[in-house]
Structure 1
Amino acid sequence: MKLIINKTPTDAGVIEVSGVDFSHTDTTVFRALTLSIAPGAVTAVTGPNGCGKSTLLELLAGVHPVAAGTIARGTRNVALAVQRSAVTDSFPVTVTEAVMMGRWRHLGLLRRPGTKDRATVEYWLTELGLTDLRHRTMGELSGGQRQRVLLAQAFAQDAPLLLLDEPTTGLDADSARLVLAHLRRFADAGTTVVAATHDCALIAAAEHRVELG
């Protein structure tokens, strides 16, 4: 099965962060943070645990309001893949249903998947080795399996801005290489990819790097 990744206009993935302040539970995470994310490229966000890598992704996705400053995005269509630990074992959906959730933005008012939606989900189930797990619930999966489901869900969104939190954590070597290859394909098609990571291979594959202290 072949999936065509649509070309994304370069300006859709533009991100400009200017003078951003953000605190979480009275702890300052960022003060006057200013940075630019290159569109149509892979950017690795690195730094020690607790430095705010996951928080930065959430801010870029618009999950949290900033206390000061601005975050300008060229699109509202953003795919965010959280860490697998953020999904509870009791999440009551099957693997197929979880990946189909990535197509919700594309569905009509009745939320009925069309031919393209089903084909997209099937493609990512196959690509990430999830076809035999399609009827299992998230709580029945191992950490690596759950990680692949969350990535498939994000990839299925076909968004011009793809934000990934430790995308290769828990994956075996072959799966990690496959994910990196897909990130390269997305970027080559114009998608802006931002990944918080400790993975040396992903960092080496990225065109740009944001180091948080």
Structure 2
Amino acid sequence: MMDASDGTANSEDISDSASDLTKMTDADPKMLAAYYDQWAESYDRDLPKMGYEAPVRAAAIMVEQDVAVDAPILDAGCGTGLTGLELSKAGYRDITGIDLSLESLQAAEAKGVYRHLKVRDMNKPLAFGDNGFGAVQCIGTLTYVREIKKLFAEFCRVVKPGGIISFTQRCDLYVGDFIRALDATTRARKWDLVSHSDPMPYLPNHEDFGAEKRIFYDVYRVR
């Protein structure tokens, strides 16, 4: 049920894990894995109630950037597979998903849209070969990555030249080290900026996020 007064989801409508989301911004990988393992069972029900539309927008970006439907795509931080499901609806069929949470990956596997699913900590090397993907998308996950400059380098390594890297980041976290990592990757001539969106909705119906916390969608092309 939606609160008619302000459009936010009542706390009774979403799970305790969804309500606790803001507490996880600074969590370490072990805590994150445990948190998302616990949330996996209700995640797909909670996210629509909170107004989460990033998976749909992310899939549209791949189409807009003319990423071929048979191109291998890395869905980094795929969670329960909502992002991969939207890619599949857009026609993509060679999708690899990675995530910290085994329970989330099992939920993603049940959707039947991924070719491969693997447990990965994105603060570490991705353990994929060079130039193996036509695109990477990383949606709603960079909040938790501490080694962001190294991850950007890894994305550029695993995506073939001319391929696309698409990601979201919360506007309030698009500062300091994050911007420096973007700039350093550009100065190293690893990628070129294609587009940087206006602030967009993130979880508008979550009582702790609402309209105030928004996200950017960035797209880069690998050199």
Using the size of structure 1 for normalisation, the TM-score is 0.28
Higher relative contact order by CA 8 Å / sep ≥ 6: 1 or 2? 1
Using the size of structure 2 for normalisation, the TM-score is 0.28
